[in-house]
Amino acid sequence: MSIFPEHFSFLDGRDFERRPQQETMASKVYYALSEGLNLCVEAPTGVGKSIAYLLPAVKWHRNTEQTKPIIITTHTKHLQEQLLKKDVPAVQLMLGEDFNAVIGMGRGNYICMRRMNAAAAGSPDFLPDESMIPEVFRIKSWSATSENGCKTELPFAVDNGAWGTVNAEEGNCLNQRCPHFKPCFFQKSRRSLYGADVIIVNHALFFADLAIKAETGDEQAGILPSASAIIVDECHTVEDVAAVHLGIRLSAGTFLYQLRRIYNKRSKRGAISTVSDNRGRHLAAKMHDEVRDFFQSLHAWLPDENKTHRIHEPVVPENPLAEGLTQLCGLLELYADEEEGNPEKETEYRSLSRRLLKLTDSLSFFLRASSEEHVFWFEKSTKHLSMHAAAIDVAPILNDLLFRSKTPVVTTSATLAVSEKLSYYRSRVGMSESLDMILDSPFDFKNQMKVFAAQTLPSPKENDYEKEALTWLRYFIHMSTGGAFVLFTSFSQMKRIADAVRPFMNEMGLKLLVQGEAASSALLLQAFKEDNNSVLFGTDTFWTGVDVPGESLRNVIIMRIPFAVPDHPLIAARCEHLEKTGGRAFFDFSVPEAQLKLRQGIGRLIRSAKDRGIVVLMDSRVSNTNYGAKFLRAMPEGCEIEHF
Q: Percentage of residues in the chain with pLDDT exceeding 70?
A: 97
Q: What is the pLDDT of residue 3?
A: 67
DSSP of 278-316, one letter per residue?
A: SHHHHHHHHHHHHHHHHHHHHHHHS-SS-SEEEE-S-SS
Beta-bridge partner residues of 191: none
| CB neighbour list of residue 527: distance below 8 Å, 6 or more residues apart | 511, 513, 519, 534
Radius of gyration of the chain (CA): 27
pLDDT level of residue 123 (50, 70, 90 thresholds): confident
Three-class SS of 538-580:
ECHHHCCCCCCCCCCCCEEEECCCCCCCCCCHHHHHHHHHHHH
Provide the mean pLDDT of the chain: 93
DSSP letter at 491 equals H
Q: How far apart are CA 35 and CA 571, in angstroms?
A: 37
Q: What is the pLDDT of residue 10?
A: 61
Q: What is the pLDDT of residue 221?
A: 76
Query: Averaged over 269-287, what is the pLDDT?
Result: 96
The string of pLDDT tens digits covering residues 330-383 is 999 999 999 988 999 999 999 999 999 999 999 999 999 999 999 999 999 888
Single-letter amino acid code for the residue at 14? R
Pairing between β-strand 484-487 and β-strand 535-538 as defined by DSSP bridges: parallel
Give the chain's end-to-end CA distance (angstroms, integer): 43
Query: Averaged over 236-253, what is the pLDDT?
Result: 93
Q: Percentage of residues in the chain with pLDDT exceeding 90?
A: 84
Per the CB < 8 A criterion, the answer to whether 155 and 142 are in contact is: yes
Q: What is the pLDDT of residue 246?
A: 86
pLDDT at 514 over 80: yes
Per the CB < 8 A criterion, the answer to whether 639 and 449 are in contact is: yes
Q: pLDDT higher for 6 or 616?
A: 616
Q: What is the pLDDT of residue 11?
A: 59
Q: What is the pLDDT of residue 217?
A: 76
pLDDT at 532 over 90: yes
User: Which of 401, 455, 410, 399 has the alpha carbon at shortest distance from 435?
Assistant: 410
pLDDT level of residue 517 (50, 70, 90 thresholds): confident
pLDDT level of residue 21 (50, 70, 90 thresholds): very high
CA 543 remoteness from chain centre = 15
Q: How far apart are CA 569 and CA 575, in angstroms?
A: 10
pLDDT at 458 over 70: yes
Beta-bridge partner residues of 409: 230
The string of pLDDT tens digits covering residues 211-237 is 888 887 777 778 899 999 999 999 999
DSSP letter at 588 equals I
CATH among 3.40.50.410, 3.40.1190.20, 3.20.20.70, 3.40.50.300 for 5-100+195-243+394-438: 3.40.50.300
DSSP letter at 402 equals I
Q: What is the pLDDT of residue 438?
A: 98
Q: What is the pLDDT of residue 216?
A: 79
CA angle, 541 then 545 then 547, to 5°: 110
pLDDT at 1 over 70: no
CA angle, 22 then 441 then 475, to 5°: 145
Q: What is the pLDDT of residue 522?
A: 86
Classify burial at 487, counting beta carbons within 10 Å of its beta carbon; exposed 0-12, middle 13-18, buried 19 or more: buried
Helices (H), 370-464: 395-398, 423-429, 445-448
Q: What is the pLDDT of residue 546?
A: 85
What are the sequence ranges of the domains in the chain? 5-100+195-243+394-438, 107-178, 247-267+276-390, 445-643
Q: How far apart are CA 631 and CA 613, in angstroms?
A: 19
pLDDT level of residue 545 (50, 70, 90 thresholds): confident
Query: Averaged over 432-441, what is the pLDDT?
Result: 96
Residue 434's region, left for phi above 0, alpha for psi from -120 to 50, else beta, is beta
Per the CB < 8 A criterion, the answer to whether 139 and 163 are in contact is: yes
Q: Which CATH architecture has domain 445-643?
A: 3-Layer(aba) Sandwich (3.40)
Beta-bridge partner residues of 72: 200, 231
Query: Averaged over 393-404, what is the pLDDT?
Result: 95
CA angle, 82 then 88 then 93, to 5°: 135
The string of pLDDT tens digits covering residues 44-86 is 999 999 999 999 999 999 999 999 999 999 998 889 999 999 9
The string of pLDDT tens digits covering residues 280-329 is 999 999 999 999 999 999 999 998 766 899 999 999 989 999 999 999 99
Q: How far apart are CA 335 and CA 280, in angstroms?
A: 9
Q: What is the pLDDT of residue 242?
A: 93
Q: In CATH terms, are 5-100+195-243+394-438 and 445-643 the same topology?
A: yes
CATH among 1.10.275, 3.30.870, 3.30.310, 1.10.3470 for 247-267+276-390: 1.10.275
Q: What is the pLDDT of residue 109?
A: 94
Q: Hey, what long-range contacts does 495-502 have (CB within 8 A, 24 or more apart)?
A: 496/466, 497/466, 497/469, 497/470, 497/473, 497/537, 497/559, 498/537, 500/466, 500/470, 501/470, 501/473, 501/474, 501/477
Q: Which of 14-18, 279-283, 472-476, 502-506 has the weakest average pLDDT? A: 14-18
Q: Is 426 helix (H, G, I), strand (E, B) or coil?
A: helix
Q: How far apart are CA 93 and CA 113, in angstroms?
A: 38
User: Which of 379, 328, 317 has the alpha carbon at shortest distance from 357?
Assistant: 328
- The C-alpha torsion from 450 through 451 and 452 to 454, rounded to 10°, is -170
Q: Which of 126-130, 292-296, 554-558 has the weakest average pLDDT? A: 126-130
Query: Averaged over 409-422, what is the pLDDT?
Result: 96
